[in-house]
Amino acid sequence: MFNQKHPKVHLLALMYFIPDAEKTFKTMKIKLEFEKESSAKFFFQKIFLTMQLTIFLICFAGLLSSMGQGKKIAGKVTDSSGAPLIGVSVVVKGTTTGVTTDNSGNYTIDTPDNAVLQFSFIGMKKEEIAVGVKSSINLVLIDDVHSLQEVVAVGYGTQKRVTLTGAVAAIRSEELISVKSDNVQNMLSGKIAGVKVTQKTSEPGRFDNDFQIRGMGAPLVIVDGVPRDNFTKLDANEVESISILKDGSAAIYGVRAANGVVLITTKRGVKGSGFRLEYTGYVGIQNMINQPEPLDAIGFMQLQNEKAFNGGATTPVYPQSSFEPYLNGTKKSTDWEGNTINHQALQTQHSFSATGGTDKLTYFVNFGYNQQDGYWKSGDLNYNRFNLRSNVTAEIAKGLRFEALINVMSDTKNQPSSWPTWNLFKGYWTQIPLNPYFANDNPDYPFFAADGLHPDYMTDSEKSGYQKYNQRLVQTNLSLEYAIPWIDGLKAKGMFSYDYRENENKLFRKTFNLYTYSESNQTYTPAPVNAPSRLDRQYAGYITSQFQLSLAYAKTLNNVHNISGLILYEENNRLADNFYARREFSMDAVDQLFAGNSTNQVGTMSTGDLYKITNKSLVGRLNYDYSSKYLAEFSFRYDGSSMFQQGNQWGFFPSASVGWRMSEEAFIKESDALKFISSFKWRASYGIMGDDRASTYQFLSGYNYPSNGYVFGGNWTNAFGMRGMPNPNITWFESATWDAGADIDLWNGKLGISTDVFQRNRTNLLATRSESLPGLVGANLPQENLESDRTQGFELTLTHRHKIGNDFQYNLSGNMAMSRTQWGYREIAKQGNSYLNWRNNTNDRWNDIWWGIDNTGRFQSKEEIFAGPIYDTSKGNSMMLPGDLIFDDWNGDGIIDGNDIHPIGYNTAINKANKNGGMPMLNYGFTIGAEYKGFDLNIVFSGAAMSWLQYPEQLEMPLPWNRNGLTMFLDRWHRVDEFDPNSAWVPGHFPSTYRDNGRNGFILPGSTSTFQKQDASYLRLKSLELGYNIPINLTKVVGLNKARIFFNAYNLLTFTKLTYCDPEHTGDEYAYTYPLSQTFNFGVNLTF
């Protein structure tokens, strides 16, 4: 049963850099085979592997190094912009020998053998460099994170944090990669106030996150200046920084920026920094967490009997005699899960980067590999990704800078069978444990499991086919920047980018037989599943090209007036095209399209992925500050979108912000009492943004073609879809964002406070007036720009950095953010009565009100039930039982029905079909970082509060469709003696097992109560990383400038009131979504 494909995928990748990889691989295979039961051994195997890898890399590096004698070292120290740093302290480690850099940033120092040089400068990160064989060391010191001098990326440029006037949060590479995940979004969780990340699943290659800024919806993501959608598939090691534009500062992105903007900047080489090779890699083990388990045979029969008795039956469905064989061990409950699912799986990530620079040329090249296995024992569920990035900048002539950024990504998600992954969980949760895994227990005849969902087949590509999702993308940016010589401070820049992405999928559905066995005539009857075999090929290509021309100007006048400005023209084209084909197979040995039959073949395409969209924009920005004390910024974007009709295509999106650095005023600066204030800045901003994404050419009348069809003359004939009435005036909705905040730094970083209050008012939201147009018109009105809403909230970030002695330094940071949305004007038809109006009229009301009935307790006895309000008007309360929920007769009419529904809480709109909560209202997080000698520790907590959810189907009720249920439902009201319908009741969490959906005791149809509404608040130890830097004088003998080993744990601890499930687990996919993982990773970080 065990399949060797599982470790193979990892090992193939490792083979390239493990000596004797082939041999190791074979040994591993053998070991893994006999260790399949032992996850602990499995785990240490991985550590062993990582150690092997580390040792190899160190040896490899050793070849590059040799020993040296005492000598003279010279060099130059610059900042990241290339400007020389004056007065940098250069000290031979462990000695008092030291010099400082001169006015050109140059230094010369005598060093003994095996010396290590320490470079330090205020506001910059300390660096240690082993001298080794080098005779000169040029170094770039990088701004210390959180330093006031830190430069952060903003729309179309960068700004010093100290003079920022917008609500912009930024995170640097080092902070990002302390969390280990395949998805960069997860690495941001809990770190930035207002960035809400919900990881819904850890399914390999799925990347199903809900990522929002301030609860405003999906943001626009800009990678290296271009809107790109590969956020989740970046290699974290290639990211230099991520900036989050939360307020009006996003307005510079105009018509697509209403939900905020994420700016991702990838790494570049640094001028004059020499050559540096870096490797980071880890291997980890994933553990399935917080996943419910199905009942065994005993539990199943108990609940079935109860259900029957509760429904009025007088004899048990399963008499005592049915229990006996399971109790005495002659029969075993079928474990539908255990045969196919591991609770552990592997993952690995490796990145190699080379970076460096001369005076004229800088480069950053990164190669990343990510591999993640799924929990299927077959190993057929997995994901792998290759990232390659090359960022090169060259000064090709004086003042003329050329930059080429090239990114290549290729990934594959493999998945067995033709079912979506969640079906496996549905499959094994619902299969009845009395049914055999194999018909007549004969392994040649898999049993005809309900819905054909036999886990053995669903998890094995060999048996049931596969799904292969490939994505390949190439992204290029080419730019030229020219410092115009006759005007000081003026730069012209042109940029062109061309991105190509292709999604290419192959879905092979293979027929297989499941069997029933008839004892009377001893025959196996096959039931063919997924017949006929069939292959789908899907292809979609996306091209995005963007073009920018800009002029930027920056100048300081009289040493106090700092002026900078930007004017930019941009054009963006997005094209998509696709097709897919399907054939059925008579013989499925060749899984290629040409081997299929022409009968029933399909060759068509999806209209959703066929488009051409053009945007044109003129962007401008003006910054002014007076002595870095009084700050002001104005920006605008004049944006045109092809999603609208002529005359409505263009919009103007301005924004303005101001700041006041109070700490620069004399009354603070010169006051001894206030000297603890290192920096104190007030800021306020206002901006207008748009969003054209919701629009679907509603200014056009006519016909969508094709849209449905009919069979004429034996042939399917495509039909028109009438578009109905057009709205020539349709346009984007607009969002106006206010933000006011303060950034405070006290005692030189010992306490940092940053806080914001904000409000986003959206107007012109699309809505249909059809509610008020008589139905006899026969056409829905098109959407119009009618409605409005308002999102508001606040954010608070506290930071603390401290250093004790020479060796111990630590930092703490905590943040919280709350946001909530309220409808403004909403279209609503006249309601029949005042109750309906109260329920349905959402004008000026919070958009997250949860309607339902209060559950005030449990009925303890039949007497109580009959004394209570009426639950079922046709039968009275005769079907109800002790343990059933007491609902509050809210309107006091003696009847529990839809009229008792009232607000019982809040969360984003719930609907019956998809009972999941929305985003939590409040998110918070805190991080702890500490360094002591060579050790470093980084801890990230992430939490959510005021979050509620409700699950459907199996997580709501036991035994749906008369099949199996989950063990959580054993915690229910039941009789002491399950065979005696008159014995006493034992209380439990759930009411006694239901008879059918019609019984009110468990669930009131069409509604929810406070019982189903569950508190999904949580606090999670999202990530813990402990690292150790091997002392440099040890590593340098093998040529390593840095060697760090680390242990990392992800989703280590979760504190939540939610019982039986994970608080981030969603109600999507009927709550059968692939679960979340806890991972333990071991890795190394080596710099040569």
Partner 1 sequence: MIKMKATKILLMSIFAISFSCNTLDVPPMNIVGDEEAFSSESGITAYMARLYWDLPIEDFNSNSSSIKGSPENNTHDLTGETMKCDPRRSDLGGSEFPYWDYAPIRNMNYFLQEFPKYAGNYTKAKIDAFTGEVYFLRAYHYFAMVKRYGGIPIVKVVLNYPEQSIEELKAPRNKEVDCINFIISDLDEAIKLLPSTSLASGRTNKNIAYGMKARVALYAASVAKYGTIQLDGILGIPAGQATSYFQMAYDAAKAVDGKYSLYNKGGDLANNFSNIFLDQSSTENMFVKYYKFPDYAHSWELFIIPWQIRGAQNYSGRANPTLDFIEMFDDTDGNPFILKTGTDAAPIYYADRMELFAKAEPRLKGVVIFPGDQYKGDIIDVRKGIVKAGDPITTITSTNSFSDKYNNMTIQGASGMGYNECTYTGFYIRKWLNPSIPRSLVAGSTTETPWIEMRYAEMLLIRAEAAVELKSLGDASKIDDAVNSLKAIRERAGAKKVYTAADLTIDLVRKERKMELFFENKIFWDMKRWRTFDLEFSSREIKILWPVFVWDQQKYYMKKTVFSDWKYTFQKFRYYEQIPNAEIQKNSLIVQNPGY
**List 112, 420, 721, 934, residue binding partner 1 (CB under 8 A):** 721
Q: Closer CB to partner 1, residue 270 or residue 730?
A: 730
Candidate list 707, 843, 983, 1033; residue touching partner 1; CB under 8 A: 707
Cβ–Cβ under 8 Å, residues 849 and 862: no
**What's the min distance (Å) between Cβ of 914 and partner 1?**
18
CB 14 within 8 A of CB 21: yes
Beta bridge partners of 577: 541
Please pick, from the candidates 41, 468, 616, 750, the single residue that binds partner 1 as defined by CB under 8 A.
616
Q: Which of 573, 628, 678, 768 binds partner 1 (CB under 8 A)?
A: 573
Rounded to 10 degrees, the C-alpha dihedral 889/891/892/896 comes to -40
Check residue 65 for interaction with partner 1 (CB under 8 A): no
Residue 1062: φ, ψ to 5°: -90, 135
Distance in Å, CB of 492 to partner 1, minimum: 6
b/e burial code for range 1028-1037 (CB count within 10 A of at least 16 → b): ebbebeebbb
CB of residue 518 to partner 1, shortest distance in Å:
8
In the complex with partner 1, which residue's Cβ is closer, 613 or 632?
613
Q: Contacts with partner 1 in 387-406 (CB under 8 A)? A: 397, 399-400
**Nearest-approach distance from CB 308 to partner 1, in angstroms:** 8
- Can you tell me which of 338, 857, 998, 1031 binds partner 1, judged by CB under 8 A? 998
Q: Give 317 or 751: the residue with its C-beta nearer to partner 1.
A: 317
Taking every pair of Cα atoms in the chain, the longest distance, rounded to a whole number of angstroms, is: 103
CB of 245 to partner 1, least distance (A): 25
Q: What is the C-alpha to C-alpha distance for residues 907 and 917, in angstroms, rounded to an integer? A: 6
225, two tokens: 């200046």
Encoded tokens for 238: 């290639």
Q: Does 667 sit near partner 1 (CB under 8 A)?
A: no
Q: Which of 686, 697, 935, 1028 binds partner 1 (CB under 8 A)?
A: 697
Report the distance separating Cα 152 and Cα 160, nearest Å: 6
Q: Residue 717 interacts with partner 1 (CB under 8 A)?
A: yes
Quick one: which of 355, 341, 349 has its CA closest to 390?
A: 355
Q: Considering only residues 921-960, where is the footprint of partner 1 by CB under 8 A?
A: none
Q: Is 494 in the site for partner 1 (CB under 8 A)?
A: yes
Q: Among residue numbers 786 through 845, which ones bind partner 1 (CB under 8 A)?
A: 829-832
CB-nearer residue toward partner 1: 608 or 1031: 608
Binding residues for partner 1 restricted to 845-904, rule: CB under 8 A: 874
587 binds partner 1 (CB under 8 A): no
Omega into 532 within 30° of 0, i.e. cis? Answer: yes
Exactly one of 652, 676, 720, 1055 binds partner 1 (CB under 8 A); that residue is 720
Q: Are the CB atoms for 948 and 423 separated by under 8 Å?
A: no
- The span of 288-296, 333-341, 613-621, 1010-1018 binding partner 1 (CB under 8 A) equals 613-621
Residues numbered 266 to 305 that lie near partner 1 (CB under 8 A) are 304
Number of residues that bind partner 1 (CB under 8 A): 98
End-to-end CA distance of the chain: 44
Question: 841 vs 359, 387, 846, 904, 912, CA distance in Å?
Answer: 66, 50, 11, 17, 19
Question: What are the φ and ψ backbone dihedral angles of 1071, each rounded to 5 degrees?
Answer: 65, 20
Candidate ranges 113-121, 156-164, 606-614, 686-694; the one touching partner 1 (CB under 8 A) = 606-614
| 3-class secondary-structure state, position 553 | strand
Q: How far is the CB of 302 from partner 1 (least distance, A)?
A: 14
Residues 6+ apart with CB under 8 A from 378: 3, 5, 340, 416, 459, 460, 461, 462
Instruction: Tell me the chain's radius of gyration from C-alpha atoms.
Output: 32
Among residues 98, 706, 869, 934, the one that binds partner 1 under rule CB under 8 A: 706
By CB under 8 A, tell whether 317 contacts partner 1.
yes
Which CB sits closer to partner 1, 594 or 961?
961
**Beta pairing, strands 721-722 & 733-746:** unpaired
Q: Does 485 bind partner 1 (CB under 8 A)?
A: yes
Nearest to 887 by CA among 854, 919, 913: 854
For residue 694, state whether it binds partner 1 (rule: CB under 8 A): no
16 forms part of the interface with partner 1 (CB under 8 A): no
Cα 590 to Cα 214, 507, 596, 770, 823: the distances in Å are 51, 13, 9, 53, 56
Contact flag: residue 492 with partner 1 (CB under 8 A): yes
Name residues contacting partner 1, limited to 143-162 (CB under 8 A): none
Residues 6+ apart with CB under 8 A from 410: 385, 386, 470, 471, 472, 473
Contact 1009, 885 (CB under 8 A): yes
**Which residue is associated with the tokens 């006519």?**
702
By the rule CB under 8 A, 1006 interacts with partner 1:
no
State which of residues 614, 768, 847, 1007 lies at the interface with partner 1 (CB under 8 A).
Answer: 614
**Does residue 594 touch partner 1 according to CB under 8 A?**
no
Q: Of residues 184, 188, 216, 529, which one binds partner 1 by CB under 8 A?
A: 529
Give 392 or 480: the residue with its C-beta nearer to partner 1.
Answer: 480
**Contact (Cβ atoms closer than 8 angstroms) between residue 89 and residue 119:** yes
Q: Which of 100, 106, 530, 1087 binds partner 1 (CB under 8 A)?
A: 530
Report the residue from 151, 167, 514, 1038 that binds partner 1 according to the rule CB under 8 A. 514
Residues within window 411-450 making contact with partner 1, judged by CB under 8 A: 432, 434-435, 450
- Please choose, out of 10-18, 52-60, 176-184, 510-518, the segment that lies near partner 1 by the rule CB under 8 A: 510-518
